[in-house]
Structure 1
Protein backbone atom coordinates (compact mmCIF):
# COMPACT_ATOMS: atom_id res chain seq x y z
CA UNK A 1 0.00 0.00 0.00
CA UNK A 2 1.37 3.41 -0.96
CA UNK A 3 2.05 5.51 2.18
CA UNK A 4 0.52 8.94 2.83
CA UNK A 5 2.52 11.41 4.94
CA UNK A 6 0.87 13.31 7.78
CA UNK A 7 3.69 15.85 7.67
CA UNK A 8 6.70 16.40 5.44
CA UNK A 9 10.17 17.56 6.53
CA UNK A 10 10.10 21.28 7.20
CA UNK A 11 6.36 21.37 7.74
CA UNK A 12 4.83 22.26 11.10
CA UNK A 13 2.70 19.69 12.92
CA UNK A 14 0.85 20.60 16.10
CA UNK A 15 0.57 17.53 18.28
CA UNK A 16 -1.32 16.79 21.50
CA UNK A 17 -0.07 13.65 23.27
CA UNK A 18 -2.31 12.32 26.03
CA UNK A 19 -1.34 9.54 28.42
CA UNK A 20 -3.07 8.24 31.52
CA UNK A 21 0.23 7.18 33.09
CA UNK A 22 3.86 8.22 32.92
CA UNK A 23 5.07 5.79 30.25
CA UNK A 24 1.95 5.41 28.09
CA UNK A 25 2.71 7.91 25.34
CA UNK A 26 6.25 6.60 24.94
CA UNK A 27 5.13 2.96 24.72
CA UNK A 28 2.31 3.67 22.30
CA UNK A 29 3.82 6.30 20.02
CA UNK A 30 7.43 6.91 21.04
CA UNK A 31 9.03 5.81 17.78
CA UNK A 32 6.51 7.81 15.75
CA UNK A 33 7.38 10.99 17.66
CA UNK A 34 11.11 10.32 17.45
CA UNK A 35 10.74 9.61 13.73
CA UNK A 36 8.93 12.85 12.94
CA UNK A 37 11.61 14.85 14.73
CA UNK A 38 14.40 12.90 13.01
CA UNK A 39 12.83 13.55 9.58
CA UNK A 40 12.75 17.29 10.19
CA UNK A 41 9.06 17.79 10.87
CA UNK A 42 8.66 20.93 12.99
CA UNK A 43 6.77 19.45 15.92
CA UNK A 44 4.86 21.70 18.30
CA UNK A 45 3.98 19.28 21.10
CA UNK A 46 1.67 19.57 24.10
CA UNK A 47 2.43 16.46 26.20
CA UNK A 48 0.06 15.67 29.07
CA UNK A 49 0.08 12.86 31.65
CA UNK A 50 -2.94 12.57 33.94
CA UNK A 51 -1.48 10.35 36.67
CA UNK A 52 2.09 11.30 37.54
CA UNK A 53 2.82 11.59 41.24
CA UNK A 54 5.94 11.07 43.34
CA UNK A 55 8.79 9.26 41.55
CA UNK A 56 6.62 8.73 38.48
CA UNK A 57 6.31 12.48 37.99
CA UNK A 58 10.07 12.85 37.65
CA UNK A 59 10.17 9.84 35.33
CA UNK A 60 7.40 11.33 33.19
CA UNK A 61 9.09 14.71 32.88
CA UNK A 62 12.60 13.43 32.15
CA UNK A 63 11.32 10.90 29.62
CA UNK A 64 9.16 13.43 27.81
CA UNK A 65 12.11 15.82 27.58
CA UNK A 66 14.27 13.06 26.11
CA UNK A 67 11.69 11.98 23.54
CA UNK A 68 11.00 15.60 22.54
CA UNK A 69 14.63 16.60 22.07
CA UNK A 70 14.74 18.46 18.77
CA UNK A 71 11.05 19.39 18.70
CA UNK A 72 10.34 22.95 17.56
CA UNK A 73 8.39 23.61 20.75
CA UNK A 74 7.15 21.52 23.64
CA UNK A 75 4.94 21.90 26.70
CA UNK A 76 4.91 19.15 29.34
CA UNK A 77 1.97 19.05 31.73
CA UNK A 78 1.55 16.58 34.59
CA UNK A 79 -1.49 15.96 36.81
CA UNK A 80 -2.05 13.71 39.81
CA UNK A 81 -5.31 11.84 39.30
CA UNK A 82 -5.35 8.57 41.25
CA UNK A 83 -3.95 5.64 39.28
CA UNK A 84 -6.52 2.92 38.66
CA UNK A 85 -9.53 5.03 39.68
CA UNK A 86 -10.19 7.17 36.60
CA UNK A 87 -13.78 5.92 36.02
CA UNK A 88 -14.63 7.03 39.56
CA UNK A 89 -13.06 10.46 39.05
CA UNK A 90 -14.91 11.07 35.80
CA UNK A 91 -16.37 14.50 36.62
CA UNK A 92 -13.03 15.91 37.72
CA UNK A 93 -11.21 14.46 34.72
CA UNK A 94 -13.93 15.74 32.39
CA UNK A 95 -13.43 19.25 33.79
CA UNK A 96 -9.68 18.82 33.29
CA UNK A 97 -10.24 17.90 29.63
CA UNK A 98 -12.52 20.88 29.05
CA UNK A 99 -9.88 23.19 30.49
CA UNK A 100 -7.22 21.53 28.32
CA UNK A 101 -9.39 22.04 25.24
CA UNK A 102 -9.51 25.78 25.92
CA UNK A 103 -5.71 25.96 25.73
CA UNK A 104 -4.83 23.86 22.69
CA UNK A 105 -6.24 22.97 19.28
CA UNK A 106 -3.75 20.56 17.65
CA UNK A 107 -3.55 19.12 14.16
CA UNK A 108 -3.26 15.57 15.53
CA UNK A 109 -4.03 13.99 18.90
CA UNK A 110 -2.37 10.78 20.10
CA UNK A 111 -4.31 9.04 22.86
CA UNK A 112 -5.39 5.67 24.26
CA UNK A 113 -7.56 3.23 22.32
CA UNK A 114 -11.25 2.76 23.05
CA UNK A 115 -10.86 -1.01 23.43
CA UNK A 116 -7.92 -0.89 25.85
CA UNK A 117 -8.40 -3.28 28.79
CA UNK A 118 -7.11 -0.79 31.36
CA UNK A 119 -9.96 1.20 32.87
CA UNK A 120 -7.92 4.42 33.09
CA UNK A 121 -6.97 4.16 29.43
CA UNK A 122 -10.59 3.67 28.33
CA UNK A 123 -11.71 6.70 30.35
CA UNK A 124 -9.03 8.86 28.74
CA UNK A 125 -10.01 7.67 25.27
CA UNK A 126 -13.69 8.39 25.84
CA UNK A 127 -13.08 11.87 27.21
CA UNK A 128 -10.61 12.70 24.44
CA UNK A 129 -13.28 12.04 21.84
CA UNK A 130 -15.92 13.74 23.94
CA UNK A 131 -13.88 16.94 24.28
CA UNK A 132 -12.01 17.16 20.96
CA UNK A 133 -14.79 16.57 18.45
CA UNK A 134 -13.23 18.22 15.38
CA UNK A 135 -9.71 16.83 15.52
CA UNK A 136 -7.74 14.01 13.95
CA UNK A 137 -7.33 11.44 16.73
CA UNK A 138 -5.01 8.45 16.49
CA UNK A 139 -5.36 5.85 19.23
CA UNK A 140 -2.16 4.04 20.14
CA UNK A 141 -1.85 0.53 21.57
CA UNK A 142 -0.08 -0.72 24.69
CA UNK A 143 0.85 -4.40 25.16
CA UNK A 144 -0.11 -5.84 28.53
CA UNK A 145 -0.96 -8.97 30.51
CA UNK A 146 -4.67 -8.60 29.65
CA UNK A 147 -4.09 -9.46 25.99
CA UNK A 148 -6.26 -6.71 24.51
CA UNK A 149 -4.44 -6.12 21.20
CA UNK A 150 -6.79 -5.93 18.24
CA UNK A 151 -6.61 -5.02 14.54
CA UNK A 152 -5.33 -1.46 13.99
CA UNK A 153 -5.95 0.34 10.72
CA UNK A 154 -3.19 2.96 10.57
CA UNK A 155 0.52 2.17 10.52
CA UNK A 156 3.54 4.46 10.83
CA UNK A 157 6.80 2.70 9.87
CA UNK A 158 9.88 3.03 12.07
CA UNK A 159 13.49 2.09 11.50
CA UNK A 160 15.19 -0.52 13.67
CA UNK A 161 17.42 2.25 15.04
CA UNK A 162 14.38 4.28 16.11
CA UNK A 163 12.81 1.27 17.82
CA UNK A 164 16.04 0.46 19.63
CA UNK A 165 16.31 4.07 20.75
CA UNK A 166 12.71 4.02 21.97
CA UNK A 167 13.30 0.82 23.95
CA UNK A 168 16.48 2.22 25.50
CA UNK A 169 14.81 5.47 26.53
CA UNK A 170 11.99 3.53 28.16
CA UNK A 171 14.48 1.37 30.05
CA UNK A 172 16.60 4.34 31.11
CA UNK A 173 13.79 6.59 32.32
CA UNK A 174 11.28 4.24 33.95
CA UNK A 175 13.08 2.49 36.74
CA UNK A 176 9.82 1.94 38.64
CA UNK A 177 8.53 -0.23 35.80
CA UNK A 178 11.53 -2.47 35.05
CA UNK A 179 10.35 -5.22 37.42
CA UNK A 180 7.23 -5.82 35.31
CA UNK A 181 7.66 -8.98 33.28
CA UNK A 182 6.37 -7.38 30.06
CA UNK A 183 8.30 -4.11 30.31
CA UNK A 184 11.35 -4.83 28.19
CA UNK A 185 12.84 -4.29 24.76
CA UNK A 186 11.69 -7.70 23.49
CA UNK A 187 8.05 -6.77 24.02
CA UNK A 188 8.33 -3.36 22.37
CA UNK A 189 10.46 -4.58 19.47
CA UNK A 190 8.33 -7.69 18.99
CA UNK A 191 5.05 -5.82 18.67
CA UNK A 192 6.64 -3.29 16.32
CA UNK A 193 8.05 -6.12 14.19
CA UNK A 194 4.59 -7.68 13.87
CA UNK A 195 3.02 -4.34 12.90
CA UNK A 196 5.89 -3.78 10.49
CA UNK A 197 5.11 -7.08 8.78
CA UNK A 198 1.43 -6.16 8.56
CA UNK A 199 2.18 -2.93 6.68
CA UNK A 200 5.33 -4.10 4.86
CA UNK A 201 7.43 -1.41 6.50
CA UNK A 202 10.75 -0.80 4.70
CA UNK A 203 12.85 -1.61 7.79
CA UNK A 204 10.40 -4.18 9.16
CA UNK A 205 9.06 -2.17 12.11
CA UNK A 206 6.05 0.07 12.69
CA UNK A 207 3.78 1.52 15.35
CA UNK A 208 0.08 1.00 14.80
CA UNK A 209 -2.96 3.11 15.64
CA UNK A 210 -6.74 3.02 15.47
CA UNK A 211 -8.10 5.85 13.33
CA UNK A 212 -11.87 5.83 13.82
CA UNK A 213 -12.58 8.89 11.69
CA UNK A 214 -10.31 10.69 9.22
CA UNK A 215 -11.26 13.51 6.83
CA UNK A 216 -9.06 13.73 3.71
CA UNK A 217 -8.98 16.79 1.48
Structure 2
Protein backbone atom coordinates (compact mmCIF):
# COMPACT_ATOMS: atom_id res chain seq x y z
CA UNK A 1 0.00 0.00 0.00
CA UNK A 2 1.77 3.13 -1.24
CA UNK A 3 1.05 6.39 0.62
CA UNK A 4 0.00 9.51 -1.30
CA UNK A 5 -0.36 13.00 0.15
CA UNK A 6 -2.89 15.66 -0.84
CA UNK A 7 -2.21 17.99 2.07
CA UNK A 8 1.26 19.29 2.93
CA UNK A 9 2.37 22.22 5.11
CA UNK A 10 1.90 25.45 3.18
CA UNK A 11 0.34 23.74 0.16
CA UNK A 12 -2.93 25.14 -1.18
CA UNK A 13 -5.83 22.70 -1.45
CA UNK A 14 -9.28 23.61 -2.81
CA UNK A 15 -12.00 21.30 -1.50
CA UNK A 16 -15.63 21.04 -2.58
CA UNK A 17 -17.82 19.14 -0.12
CA UNK A 18 -21.17 18.10 -1.61
CA UNK A 19 -23.36 16.59 1.09
CA UNK A 20 -27.06 15.82 1.04
CA UNK A 21 -27.69 16.52 4.74
CA UNK A 22 -26.24 18.63 7.51
CA UNK A 23 -24.11 15.89 9.11
CA UNK A 24 -23.01 13.89 6.06
CA UNK A 25 -19.62 15.39 5.28
CA UNK A 26 -18.72 15.53 8.96
CA UNK A 27 -19.46 11.82 9.37
CA UNK A 28 -17.81 10.73 6.13
CA UNK A 29 -14.80 13.04 5.94
CA UNK A 30 -14.68 15.14 9.10
CA UNK A 31 -11.58 13.45 10.43
CA UNK A 32 -9.77 13.79 7.11
CA UNK A 33 -10.52 17.50 6.92
CA UNK A 34 -9.40 18.02 10.52
CA UNK A 35 -6.23 16.09 9.66
CA UNK A 36 -5.54 18.28 6.63
CA UNK A 37 -5.96 21.39 8.76
CA UNK A 38 -3.59 19.98 11.38
CA UNK A 39 -1.07 19.15 8.63
CA UNK A 40 -0.77 22.87 7.86
CA UNK A 41 -2.31 22.82 4.40
CA UNK A 42 -3.76 26.12 3.19
CA UNK A 43 -7.34 25.10 2.56
CA UNK A 44 -10.12 26.69 0.57
CA UNK A 45 -13.35 24.87 1.43
CA UNK A 46 -16.76 25.15 -0.19
CA UNK A 47 -19.12 23.36 2.19
CA UNK A 48 -22.38 22.57 0.40
CA UNK A 49 -25.44 21.01 2.05
CA UNK A 50 -28.40 20.27 -0.21
CA UNK A 51 -31.03 19.68 2.50
CA UNK A 52 -30.89 21.44 5.87
CA UNK A 53 -34.21 22.99 6.84
CA UNK A 54 -35.14 24.56 10.18
CA UNK A 55 -32.84 23.58 13.08
CA UNK A 56 -30.69 21.45 10.78
CA UNK A 57 -29.50 24.59 8.98
CA UNK A 58 -28.29 26.06 12.26
CA UNK A 59 -26.58 22.75 13.04
CA UNK A 60 -24.93 22.71 9.61
CA UNK A 61 -23.53 26.22 9.93
CA UNK A 62 -22.34 25.79 13.52
CA UNK A 63 -20.74 22.44 12.73
CA UNK A 64 -18.98 23.78 9.64
CA UNK A 65 -17.60 26.68 11.67
CA UNK A 66 -16.10 24.25 14.21
CA UNK A 67 -14.84 21.61 11.79
CA UNK A 68 -13.28 24.26 9.53
CA UNK A 69 -11.80 26.43 12.25
CA UNK A 70 -8.43 27.68 11.03
CA UNK A 71 -9.24 27.22 7.33
CA UNK A 72 -8.05 30.12 5.20
CA UNK A 73 -11.19 30.43 3.04
CA UNK A 74 -14.63 28.98 3.82
CA UNK A 75 -17.95 29.30 2.00
CA UNK A 76 -21.05 27.52 3.32
CA UNK A 77 -23.89 26.91 0.87
CA UNK A 78 -27.29 25.58 1.98
CA UNK A 79 -29.54 24.27 -0.81
CA UNK A 80 -32.85 24.29 1.02
CA UNK A 81 -34.17 21.14 -0.67
CA UNK A 82 -36.55 18.75 1.11
CA UNK A 83 -34.93 15.88 3.02
CA UNK A 84 -35.63 12.55 1.33
CA UNK A 85 -37.04 14.14 -1.82
CA UNK A 86 -33.93 15.16 -3.76
CA UNK A 87 -34.65 12.76 -6.67
CA UNK A 88 -38.12 14.32 -7.00
CA UNK A 89 -36.44 17.74 -7.32
CA UNK A 90 -33.75 16.46 -9.65
CA UNK A 91 -33.72 19.38 -12.11
CA UNK A 92 -33.40 22.00 -9.37
CA UNK A 93 -30.72 20.01 -7.53
CA UNK A 94 -28.80 19.57 -10.77
CA UNK A 95 -28.92 23.32 -11.41
CA UNK A 96 -27.62 23.88 -7.87
CA UNK A 97 -24.66 21.54 -8.42
CA UNK A 98 -23.96 22.93 -11.89
CA UNK A 99 -23.75 26.38 -10.34
CA UNK A 100 -20.70 25.28 -8.38
CA UNK A 101 -19.18 23.80 -11.53
CA UNK A 102 -19.39 27.16 -13.33
CA UNK A 103 -17.39 29.02 -10.71
CA UNK A 104 -15.22 26.49 -8.87
CA UNK A 105 -12.21 24.41 -9.87
CA UNK A 106 -11.58 22.20 -6.82
CA UNK A 107 -8.55 19.98 -6.30
CA UNK A 108 -10.78 17.39 -4.65
CA UNK A 109 -14.54 16.81 -4.50
CA UNK A 110 -15.90 14.99 -1.46
CA UNK A 111 -19.38 13.55 -1.92
CA UNK A 112 -21.49 10.46 -1.35
CA UNK A 113 -20.93 6.89 -2.47
CA UNK A 114 -22.57 5.78 -5.70
CA UNK A 115 -24.05 2.66 -4.06
CA UNK A 116 -25.34 4.39 -0.90
CA UNK A 117 -28.79 3.13 0.12
CA UNK A 118 -30.12 6.65 0.72
CA UNK A 119 -31.72 8.10 -2.40
CA UNK A 120 -30.56 11.66 -1.66
CA UNK A 121 -26.97 10.46 -1.32
CA UNK A 122 -27.02 8.55 -4.60
CA UNK A 123 -28.34 11.54 -6.53
CA UNK A 124 -25.67 13.89 -5.14
CA UNK A 125 -23.00 11.41 -6.18
CA UNK A 126 -24.39 11.09 -9.69
CA UNK A 127 -24.61 14.85 -10.16
CA UNK A 128 -21.13 15.40 -8.72
CA UNK A 129 -19.65 13.01 -11.28
CA UNK A 130 -21.67 14.67 -14.07
CA UNK A 131 -20.40 18.11 -13.15
CA UNK A 132 -16.81 17.36 -12.11
CA UNK A 133 -15.64 14.80 -14.66
CA UNK A 134 -12.04 16.07 -14.73
CA UNK A 135 -11.56 16.32 -10.98
CA UNK A 136 -10.53 14.02 -8.18
CA UNK A 137 -13.80 12.76 -6.68
CA UNK A 138 -13.63 10.85 -3.39
CA UNK A 139 -16.83 9.20 -2.17
CA UNK A 140 -17.50 8.98 1.56
CA UNK A 141 -19.31 6.31 3.56
CA UNK A 142 -22.15 6.89 6.02
CA UNK A 143 -23.07 4.11 8.50
CA UNK A 144 -26.81 3.59 8.83
CA UNK A 145 -29.64 1.14 9.50
CA UNK A 146 -29.51 -0.18 5.91
CA UNK A 147 -26.15 -1.89 6.45
CA UNK A 148 -24.84 -0.71 3.08
CA UNK A 149 -21.17 -0.19 3.87
CA UNK A 150 -18.86 -1.24 1.06
CA UNK A 151 -15.15 -1.93 0.66
CA UNK A 152 -13.14 1.32 0.43
CA UNK A 153 -10.03 1.49 -1.72
CA UNK A 154 -8.54 4.68 -0.29
CA UNK A 155 -7.77 5.36 3.38
CA UNK A 156 -6.74 8.34 5.48
CA UNK A 157 -5.18 7.29 8.81
CA UNK A 158 -6.31 9.45 11.73
CA UNK A 159 -4.36 10.20 14.91
CA UNK A 160 -6.28 9.43 18.09
CA UNK A 161 -6.77 13.10 18.93
CA UNK A 162 -8.19 13.87 15.48
CA UNK A 163 -10.76 11.08 15.67
CA UNK A 164 -11.76 12.07 19.21
CA UNK A 165 -12.19 15.67 18.07
CA UNK A 166 -14.39 14.53 15.16
CA UNK A 167 -16.60 12.44 17.45
CA UNK A 168 -16.84 15.24 20.02
CA UNK A 169 -17.96 17.73 17.36
CA UNK A 170 -20.55 15.32 15.96
CA UNK A 171 -21.98 14.82 19.44
CA UNK A 172 -21.97 18.55 20.13
CA UNK A 173 -23.64 19.85 16.99
CA UNK A 174 -26.25 17.35 15.85
CA UNK A 175 -28.88 17.21 18.55
CA UNK A 176 -31.58 16.45 15.96
CA UNK A 177 -29.86 13.13 15.20
CA UNK A 178 -29.24 11.82 18.72
CA UNK A 179 -32.52 9.90 18.77
CA UNK A 180 -31.27 7.67 15.95
CA UNK A 181 -29.94 4.37 17.27
CA UNK A 182 -26.84 4.43 15.08
CA UNK A 183 -25.78 8.02 15.79
CA UNK A 184 -23.38 7.69 18.70
CA UNK A 185 -19.69 7.74 19.54
CA UNK A 186 -19.37 3.94 19.50
CA UNK A 187 -20.53 3.74 15.88
CA UNK A 188 -18.05 6.34 14.67
CA UNK A 189 -15.16 4.94 16.70
CA UNK A 190 -15.88 1.35 15.64
CA UNK A 191 -16.01 2.17 11.93
CA UNK A 192 -12.78 4.17 12.20
CA UNK A 193 -11.11 1.25 13.99
CA UNK A 194 -12.16 -1.22 11.28
CA UNK A 195 -10.88 1.07 8.54
CA UNK A 196 -7.67 1.45 10.50
CA UNK A 197 -7.23 -2.32 10.58
CA UNK A 198 -7.58 -2.35 6.79
CA UNK A 199 -4.72 0.12 6.30
CA UNK A 200 -2.39 -0.83 9.19
CA UNK A 201 -3.34 2.16 11.31
CA UNK A 202 -5.16 2.52 14.61
CA UNK A 203 -7.97 4.60 13.12
CA UNK A 204 -8.82 5.75 9.60
CA UNK A 205 -11.56 7.03 7.33
CA UNK A 206 -12.30 5.08 4.17
CA UNK A 207 -13.15 6.50 0.75
CA UNK A 208 -14.07 5.19 -2.68
CA UNK A 209 -11.85 6.49 -5.48
CA UNK A 210 -13.48 5.24 -8.69
CA UNK A 211 -11.26 7.01 -11.22
CA UNK A 212 -7.70 8.27 -10.75
CA UNK A 213 -5.18 9.74 -13.19
CA UNK A 214 -1.51 8.92 -12.61
CA UNK A 215 0.89 11.53 -14.04
CA UNK A 216 4.66 12.03 -13.96
SS of structure 1 residue aligned to 2:81: coil
CA distance in 2 between counterparts of 1:21 and 1:2 reads: 33
Distance 1:25 1:36 in 2: 14
Q: CA RMSD in A?
A: 0.7
Match of 2:146, SS state, is coil
Distance 1:98 1:23 in 2: 22
Aligned twin of 1:12: 12
CA distance in 1, matches of 2:50, 2:105: 18
Query: Does the 8 A contact of 1:53 with 1:79 survive in 2?
Result: no
Task: Measure how far apart 1:161 and its partner are.
Answer: 1.0
Gap runs ≥5 in structure 1: none
Shift of 1:2: 3.1
Matches within 5 A, 1:170-185: 170-185=170-185
Normalised to the residue count of structure 2, the TM-score between the two structures is 0.98
Contact 2:63–2:169 under 8 Å retained in 1: yes
Cross-structure match for 1:93: 93
- Structure 1 residue aligned with 2:169: 169
Structure 1's consecutive aligned runs of 4 or more residues displaced over 4 angstroms after TM superposition are: none
Q: Look up the match of 1:119.
A: 119
**Superposition pairs of residues 54-203 of structure 1, within 5 angstroms:** 54-201=54-201
> TM-score scaled by structure 1?
0.97
User: Any stretches of 5+ residues in structure 2 without a counterpart?
Assistant: none
